[in-house]
Amino acid sequence: MKIKTVTLNDGVEIPVYGFGTFQIPADGSTYKAVREALDLGIRHIDTAAAYFNEQEVGKAIRESSVPREEIFLTSKLWLQDHGYEAAQKGIETSLRKLGLDYMDLYLIHQPYGEVPAAWQAMEEAKRAGKIRSIGVSNMTPKIWNRFVPMFETKPSVNQIEFNPYFQQKEMRKIMAEDDVRLEGWAPLGQGNSAMLADPCIAEIAAKYHRDTGQIILRFEIQEGAVIFPKSIHPERIKSNMEIFDFSLTDEEMNQIRSLDTGKGRHNPDAPGVAEFLIGAFDVHSDD
């Protein structure tokens, strides 16, 4: 099965469905899961410096039989590397750990601190061919309006929390003005049991003989999001992909749209978030 791609605002094509590696440990588990995903036909892999598993992701890509140019790889710059020179070093560190010549997409992981200077370094790395596309993550309307007007080029992607219970309607309107693609993290609500058991979603799932997770992922794809659900279980990786042989009706899409609560698990605008995050990880602890 070939997963369809969409074209970003800079002309780069990105597969709409990928594989996320957040919280998969670097004890061989990440390597094994990425190889499994690639073997199943997934061609989009998402990692980050702060996931501490870039080395295993890169090793899995290098040792796969899939040609590098057929794989879309994302990594992300952590807070400690914001600023111009720090971001340059952060980009080089990710490339070294991955063991790859370029990254397909590189994001500002948490948008606090010296974001414009970091963005400038990312723009330069893109011009140098080290990165094909650049974007941001966890930007709210407030944060977007603070930083993005200072950028020379617009982001191609904003990777944000997105699922039926948190549909990011205000942020999506702003992004649509510049054709910025939404990438949804926590597409299954990080295992949100209430959402996975929601009666509305369950009724639709029964009609299509699917599980509720598959209905949720199908909804997100039809909403235009790029998604990358995570699992270390081969059977779950496979079943999560089984969403391309059916479509939800307009009525069913509207039913799921009505489930939006307008709130997520993470609020990037909350006081103290930046301070907490910069103290949470030291991405250079193993350098």
Residues with catalytic function: 51
pLDDT of residue 257: 98
Q: In the predicted model, what is the mean pLDDT of residues 232-247?
A: 91
Neighbours of 170 (CB within 10 A): 12
The answer to whether 50 and 185 have CB atoms below 8 angstroms apart is no
Per-residue model confidence as pLDDT tens digits over 34-53: 999 999 999 999 999 999 99
The answer to whether 78 and 49 have CB atoms below 8 angstroms apart is yes
Per-residue model confidence as pLDDT tens digits over 152-179: 999 999 999 999 999 999 999 999 999 9
**Torsion sign over Cα 266, 272, 274, 280:** negative
Indicate if the pLDDT at residue 26 is higher than 80: yes
Indicate if the pLDDT at residue 286 is higher than 80: no
pLDDT of residue 4: 93
Residue ranges covered by each domain of the chain: 12-280
The answer to whether 182 and 226 have CB atoms below 8 angstroms apart is yes
**pLDDT bucket at 54, cuts 50 / 70 / 90:** very high
pLDDT of residue 98: 98
12-280 to CATH, choices 3.30.450.20, 3.20.20.100, 1.10.3430.10, 3.40.1280.10: 3.20.20.100
Burial class (CB in 10 A: 0-12, 13-18, 19+), 271: exposed
